[in-house]
Amino acid sequence: MKFFHRDKRYIKNINIAFLVIPMILLPLLFEWYLHTKNLALFTTYHDEILIVNIFYILIARFALLDSAIYIFSRSKRHFNVALMQVVLLYFEVTIVTIIYYAVVFTIFDVFSLFHLNSEFSPQNLQKIHEHSFITSMYISTVTFTTLGSGDWIPQTLNAMIAVISEVILGVIQGGVFVAIIIYAHQNKDNSID
């Protein structure tokens, strides 16, 4: 596949990459225009636009990651399959772990395990209680990533143990990911493809 070879790449110079990467923000210009010029349409599709933004940035980030690996790699090939497989595997393990804890929190009633330490309007508080799985996903995500925003506080000893175990898994997984990337890079075949 000649397209994947370095001489056929769309970015020929590393310095150009720093100009191309900000193009990821272009769709936001359209949304800003829509928000300022047609607020009624924007408000009607507010939630859908937000979801599209989330999917867009996930896909764009993987494309940027692949491009960065390619630009700064010594390989002649554009797509570093092994490295992208490691990144995707890391992403998959992260998502599975977060979902696992979110399901556990939901099964054992997230609102009895955790106390909300923030003030919300009654309408938003009602929405939060109607979507216990999304609330569980939020708690699990901020716990796994060790962000710990502090708005949800464990109320029971078992909830504390669950939070401790998820934080430990998050920290260890981040370290293992970095170790795998370093190991793969150090043991890379010295010959250029």
Q: Six-digit token pair at 114?
A: 């955790």
pTM of the model: 0.66
The CATH number corresponding to 80-193 among 3.30.70.260, 3.30.420.40, 1.10.10.10, 1.10.287.70 equals 1.10.287.70
Give the domain ranges of the chain: 1-79, 80-193
| Contact yes or no for 130/164 (Cβ under 8 A) | no
Q: Quote the pLDDT of residue 70.
A: 62
- The tens-digit pLDDT sequence of the chain (193 residues) is 454 455 555 555 566 666 666 777 888 888 888 888 988 888 898 888 888 888 888 787 777 766 666 665 555 555 566 666 777 778 888 899 999 999 999 999 999 999 988 888 888 888 888 899 999 999 999 999 888 777 889 999 999 999 999 999 989 888 887 777 677 666 555 444 4
Q: Quote the pLDDT of residue 73.
A: 58
- The full 3-state SS of 100-124, as one line of letters, equals HHHHHHHHCCHHHHEEECCCCCHHH
